[in-house]
Structures are given as structure tokens and as C-alpha cells.
Structure 1
Amino acid sequence: MTKDIVVLGAGMVGVCTALALRQRGHSVVLVDRQAPGKETSYGNAGIIQREAVQPYAFPREWQAILRVALRQGNDVHYHPGALAHLSPTLVRYWRESAPGRYASIVTAYSALIRHCLSEHERLITLAGAQDLVRKSGWLQGYRTAQAFDRAASEATAIARGHELDCQVLDQAGVAATEPAISGKLAGAVHWRDPWTIADPGELVTRYAALFEREGGEFRRGDATTLSQTGAGWTVTTEDGPLSAANVVIALGPWASNLIQTLGYRFPLFVKRGYHRHYAAEPMPRLPLLDVERGVMLAPMQRGLRLTTGAEFALRDAPPTPVQLGRAEGYARELVNLGAPVEAQPWLGARPCVADMKPIVGRAPRHQGLWFHFGHGHQGFTLGPVTARLLAELINGEQPYVDPRPYDPIRFAAM
């Protein structure tokens, strides 16, 4: 079987890439070992984060670094045995988070984020997925007055600088906006631009179904079998070898394995995260991030989903859901959490780049090879945005966003 383009990876990023290319008339096959939307794109808070104009930076204050090192707090956890492997990349992550460098990163990052609602809206309409969407935003909550006052000031400045809609709520305002939350919060920032999704994996499934309705094909296959053959590429699927002139690697946290076999050494790492659903009653109306306890409470079709912060570990290391265990206790202080829905929590990995920008564009040393991964915490938000950008580059169109900040060439010396 020969096609124009093979897209490897059927998460939000890969599905949107395949769809954007198919809508431009290309013959496209989407390849993954699992059905679409079953990995990282399933296990998130389900928020299309229009307000996320600033990527998560490495802390620069020594007090914050010491707190993480001593495992104080619940927002970050780490495996000591993984640090030797991760430290070179984390040092670069720390360096890129310096104020001077970080300012330019925010400029590039926000240039993508500003398109997330419009790009998702088009696909949501075409996919008939309006039933999954709520346009009420989410709450960023604080337990102490000191943290709340500081965050409210920062949020107001960010909203003003990026034309965002946020409302600062005191304790009474939180109770009026979200009656299911107890009175333990000093206040919250209500980000009102973002949309929330009742089932993130289902949204990816709907986008994949749209791709197939428009003539695209999905095949189960093994991305690690990718090989260059003459002027094109071949990958093994359950239906036999599949060849194409172009291949897009959109494998999220699994991209690093494949690109290393092709000779690329980008500063990639993963942040692992856990979630579990609970039969909360009453169910909160809006997602709530309990910032000082490092837990997100997100109402979903399956129940109230608790998601954790970052765990720095090797991608395939055994689960250590200590953050989720603590998160459950903290959540019970805020809501009537109920019993867990699943027997075991879910574990996934966020694909991160040390300079906090996704890698989007042509591979520097291979004809017909394209990279599309490294979205960190925002693959669900940015999937359609960077998919459009990459499709325009492949199609020879004028890009709607300046592609240079995300070009793989920035790591060409590695």
C-alpha cells in the first residue's frame, strides 16, 4: 500500500495532523498501536486552555527548588534514580527558564495558544462534538490569603497583557460560583475564556472518526518499524507494509525512541501524571485547580477526575502514585468526593522539550520526514493549532503563524 503521507501517533496531535493533511487533499494513513485517543490525550484535565499563554517554567528561586528537592508539597514528585539520566536536560530546562530567555519563549508560545479555541471550534463543529463542550472556564483556587493575593495580581496582569477574561473571586464569590466547593479556599481566579471537555479521549475519537469520514485511513501498526526506503518511508502495520513519500512523527512521549534511531538528540523529557475518577456528589460544575495542594478536580462523564502535578521519572518506570494518594485526601477537604470509580489509577506521560516549545517542522537531515511532538502540558489544547501549521508547511502554503520558533533546526547541532 502506498500513500502520500503516513502519520505516526493517534493522540490529539497526530489525529489533528492527519485530519489537516486530509482536508488539503492528501492521501493519509494514521498509524498507532492502539485506537485513537487512548494514551496521553485521554489522561488530562480536559481543558482547552486559552489562558495558558505562559508555559510551565523551571523554578528559579532557591526556596522553590529546595522544597521540591526535599519532597515538600504535592505539585512535584521525582524518582531519585532517574535524576542522573534526566539531569542534563533538566539543567537546560532551568537555563531556558531564566527571565531573559523565558520572555521570548512566552511570545512564541502565546502565538500558538491564541488560536486554540478557533481551531478546536471548527473541528468540534465538523465532528459533531458539541455535546462534550462547556464554555464556562475553570477555577484556579488558593487556600491562603497571601498566595491568593499574589496570584490575583499576576492573573490580572496576564489577562490585561494577552486580552483574556478573568474574574477574581473572594471566598464568597467562590461559594456563589461553585456551590459544591467547601469554604476552605481564600479565593480563586476564574479563567472564563477556556472550554472544558467532558471526555477528552472521546473528543479525539470524534476527530478521528471525522478524519475517516473524509477519506482518511487508520491502521494499527508499530512505529518502531519505520525505515527509509529509497525516496520514501515504510512502516509495518497489521495489514502489511505501508509506504509513503512523507512521514510525520507525532508520537508524543514515545517520539524520543524513534528519533534517536534516526540520529536526532533533542532535549526531550517526560513529566508523568496520574488521574482517577470519583463518584462525587454533588458534582462540581467547573474544574478547580487547588494550586497549593497540587491537584486538579475536573468534572467528567465518568465522575470527578483528580489529576496530579508532575512526576519526574523515566517514562516506563513502575507507577508510584503517591501524589494521587495525597490528592485524594486534599480533595475530600473541598468536596464530597465519594468512592473511586476505577480499581487502579491511570498513569501517563507528558512529552516535554527543555525550551518549552513544541517541535514542529521538517527534519533537518532526512527527506520526507516531519516532526510534530513536544507539546508538554498542552498537547490537548494545541493539537489542532500546530497541526494546521505543519500541514501548511508540508503543503507549501504561507504559514498562518511564524514557524521559526518551533522548527527542529534549532537543535540541529545536537
Structure 2
Amino acid sequence: MSGTVVVLGAGMVGTCTALHLARRGHAVVLVDRREPGRETSYGNAGIIQREAVEPYAFPRSMAKLVEVAFRRGADVNYHLAALPAVAPRLAGYWQHSGAGRYPAIAAAYTRLIEHATSEHAPLIAAAGADDLVRRDGYFHIYRDAAGLAPAVEKAQALQRSHGLRHEVLGPEALAAAEPALRQRLAGAIHWLDPWSVSDPGELVARYARHFRQLGGTIAQGDAATLQQTPAGWRVTTADGTLDAEQAVIALGPWSEQVLGPLGYRLPLFVKRGYHRHYRGGAGPRLPLYDVDRGLVIAPMRQGVRITSGAEFAQRDAPATPRQLDLAEASARELLDLPDAVEPQPWLGARPCVVDMKPVIGPAPRHRGLWFNFGHGHQGFTLGPVSGRLLAELVDGEAPVVDAAPYAPRRFG
């Protein structure tokens, strides 16, 4: 298939990349071992986080570090056996989270987040996915007034600096807004700009269906078979060998499997996460981020989804869902939570980079090879704008944002 672009990885980022390339007239084949949207993009909290203008930094306060060290909360866990391998990446993450580097990183991150909902909107419309999307925000809920007060100050600062809309709810207002809550909490910040999705995997699947309508092809294949040829790139699919002029690696937490054999050693690591659904009780109207306990409670088509925070471990290590157990216990304090739908929790991995910025752009040492991965917690949010940016770079167009902060060359 001469002149084809092959996109490896059919999560939100890869699917949107393929979609934007197809919109520009490219012959595109989207390759994955599974159907679109069935891996990392399936498992998130389903929030298009327009308010998330600051990436998740490594904790700096001693109190938080002690809490993490003793694994006391649902927000962070780690495997002791994984630390020797992960430690160099965590050290880089720590360094980039410091006051000297973080502001510039956040500024670059913001430039992508600013396009989150505006880039999802036309794809949602074209894919006929409006039934999956709510455009009335979500809540950061606080059990303790001592935590709410500084959060309100921060929200007000973000409204002044970035125009992010929000409302502050006291105990009575929050109880009225979310009558399923069993406790009277200190209050909440209602972020008004984000959108929530009732089935994240299905949204990706509909984007993929729209990609097919534009003439794109979806194939089952093994991205690890990627190899360079004199004319471009070759990958093995269930239908045989596929030759392409250009290739895009959009494999999220599996990107290193393909990068390594090509000689790239980028500072990547994963944060694993868990979720489970509960069906039958009264759930929340909008997603709730329980800030004090580090979990998200989100209404989904499959039931109420409880998600845990970050687990630092090897990507394929056995599951240790203690975080989700803690999250479930915290959620039961707030809601009449019914029995779990799945017999075992879902486990996935977020693809992270030590400087908290995605890797988007041309491979430094291989002609016709492109990277689009490393979006951390926000691949679901940033997939459309990242896909557009990568397609613009492929075509040599003026990019929607300056691509320099995300270029693979920043790592040498």
C-alpha cells in the first residue's frame, strides 16, 4: 500500500491521529491488537478536563511524601520491587516538578489543554456521539473545610489567569446538587468548562467508525513487528504484511516496546490505575473527585465507576488493587454503593514522561517516523488536539500550537 500512513495504537490519541490524517486526504491504516478504545482509553474517569491547565507534579510536601511512603491513601501506591527500575524516572519527574522547571512545563501544557473541548466538539458531532457527552462540568468535593479554602483561592487564581469558570458550593448547595450523597461535606468546586463522557471506550469507537467513513482502514496487528524498509515502514497485520511510506507510534504505555529496537531511550514510565463499576444504587449526577481521599466517582453507562489514583509499578506486573479497595471504602461513606459489576477490577497504565509533556513530532533519526504518546493522565482529554497537531506537522502546515515544547528532539 504505497503512500500509506500506518498509525500504531487505536486509543484516543492514535485514533484521533488517524482521523486527522484521513481528513487531510491521506490513506491511513490504524493498527492495534484490539478494537479501538479497549485499552487505556477505556479505563479513565471519562472527563475531558478543560480545567486541567497544570499537569500532575510529583508531590513536594513532606506530609504528602510520608503519606505516600506508608501507602495510606487511594491516590498513590507503589511496588517496592519496581523501585530500582523506576527510580531514575521518578528522580527526573521530581526534578521537573520543582519551581525552576515546572512553570514553563505548565505553560506548554496549558497551550494544549486550551484546545481540549474545542477539538473534541467537531469530532463528537461528526461521530454522532452527543448522547455520550455532558457539558456541565464536574465537582471537586471536599470533606474538610481546611482543604476547601485554599482550593477556592487557587480556583479563583485560575479563573483570573486562564478564564476557567467555576462555582463554589457550600454544604447545603452541594447536598442539593448531588442528593445521592449520604454525608454533609464541607463543600465543592464545580468546574464548569470540562465535559464528561458516559462511556470513554465507546467515544473512541465512534471516532474510529467516523475514521472508517472517511475511507480509513482498521487492521489487527502487532506493532512490535514494525521495521524500516528502503521505501518506508512495514508492519505485520492479521491480513498480511503492510507497507507504508510513514508510520506513527501512538502506543501509549506500550510505546517503549517499539522505540527500544529502533534505538530510542526516552524517559518514559507508567502510572497504573484501577477501576470498577457498581450498578443498582443511587449514583451521582456528575463525576465527583474526592480530593481528600484521591478517587473519582463517575456515572457511566456500565454503572457507577470508581477509579483509583496512580500506582508506580512495572506495566505488566500482577495487579495489587489495594488502592481500589480503599477507594471503594471511601465511596461507600458517600454513596449507597451497590455490589460490583465485574468480578475483578480493571487495570490499565497511563503513559508518562518525566517532564510531564507528551512527545509529539518527527523521530529524530528515522525518516517518515512520527511520535505521539506520553500524555500521562490526559490522553483522553488531549487526543483530538494532539492528533491534529501531529497531522499538521506531517503535512507541513502551520500548527495549531507551537510544537517545539513537545518535540522528541528535546531528549537528544
Measured against the shorter chain, the TM-score band is over 0.9
Q: Does structure 1 conserve the Cα–Cα contact (< 8 Å) formed by 2:143 and 2:187?
A: yes
User: Residue 291 of structure 1: CA displacement?
Assistant: 1.1
User: Residue 228 of structure 1: CA displacement?
Assistant: 0.4
**Does 2:276 correspond to 1:276?**
yes
Q: Does structure 1 conserve the Cα–Cα contact (< 8 Å) formed by 2:269 and 2:352?
A: yes
Question: How far apart in 2 are the matches of 1:263 and 1:232?
Answer: 17
**Length, aligned pairs only:** 412
Question: How far apart in 1 are the matches of 2:245 and 2:390?
Answer: 16
Question: How far apart in 1 are the matches of 2:325 and 2:363?
Answer: 42
Unaligned runs of 5+ in 1: none
Q: Deviations over 1:125-163 (max 9, x none)?
A: 000000001111000011111111121111221222111
Q: Does structure 2 conserve the Cα–Cα contact (< 8 Å) formed by 1:199 and 1:300?
A: yes
Q: Does structure 2 conserve the Cα–Cα contact (< 8 Å) formed by 1:171 and 1:183?
A: no
- 5 Å-filtered alignment, 1:252-401, equals 252-401=252-401
User: Residue 178 of structure 1: CA displacement?
Assistant: 1.1
Q: Does structure 2 conserve the Cα–Cα contact (< 8 Å) formed by 1:272 and 1:347?
A: yes
User: Residue 285 of structure 1: CA displacement?
Assistant: 0.5
RMSD: 0.9
Tell me the SS of whatever aligns to 1:100.
coil
Q: Does structure 1 conserve the Cα–Cα contact (< 8 Å) formed by 2:182 and 2:336?
A: no
Q: Does structure 1 conserve the Cα–Cα contact (< 8 Å) formed by 2:175 and 2:184?
A: no
User: Residue 74 of structure 1: CA displacement?
Assistant: 2.0
User: Residue 283 of structure 1: CA displacement?
Assistant: 2.2
TM-score (norm 1): 0.98
User: Residue 280 of structure 1: CA displacement?
Assistant: 4.5
- Paired residue type of 1:82: A
Question: How far apart in 1 are the matches of 2:309 and 2:59?
Answer: 14
Question: How far apart in 1 are the matches of 2:355 and 2:159?
Answer: 23
Question: How far apart in 1 are the matches of 2:111 and 2:283?
Answer: 35
User: Residue 3 of structure 1: CA displacement?
Assistant: 4.2
Question: How far apart in 2 are the matches of 1:376 and 1:335?
Answer: 29
Question: How far apart in 1 are the matches of 2:15 and 2:198?
Answer: 19
- Paired residue type of 2:252: G
- Paired residue type of 2:351: P
User: Residue 183 of structure 1: CA displacement?
Assistant: 2.6
- Paired residue type of 1:292: D
Identity of aligned residues (%): 61
Matching residue of 2:136: 136
**Runs of 4 or more off by more than 4 Å in structure 1?**
none
User: Residue 289 of structure 1: CA displacement?
Assistant: 0.7
- 5 Å-filtered alignment, 1:187-198, equals 187-198=187-198
- Paired residue type of 1:35: E
Unaligned runs of 5+ in 2: none
Question: How far apart in 2 are the matches of 1:280 and 1:332?
Answer: 13
Matching residue of 1:31: 31
Tell me the SS of whatever aligns to 2:245.
strand
User: Residue 63 of structure 1: CA displacement?
Assistant: 2.4
- Paired residue type of 2:350: R
Q: Does structure 2 conserve the Cα–Cα contact (< 8 Å) formed by 1:2 and 1:242?
A: no
Q: Does structure 1 conserve the Cα–Cα contact (< 8 Å) formed by 2:31 and 2:219?
A: yes
TM-score (norm 2): 0.99
Matching residue of 1:89: 89
- 5 Å-filtered alignment, 1:113-192, equals 113-192=113-192
Q: Does structure 1 conserve the Cα–Cα contact (< 8 Å) formed by 2:73 and 2:323?
A: no
Question: How far apart in 1 are the matches of 2:77 and 2:194?
Answer: 27
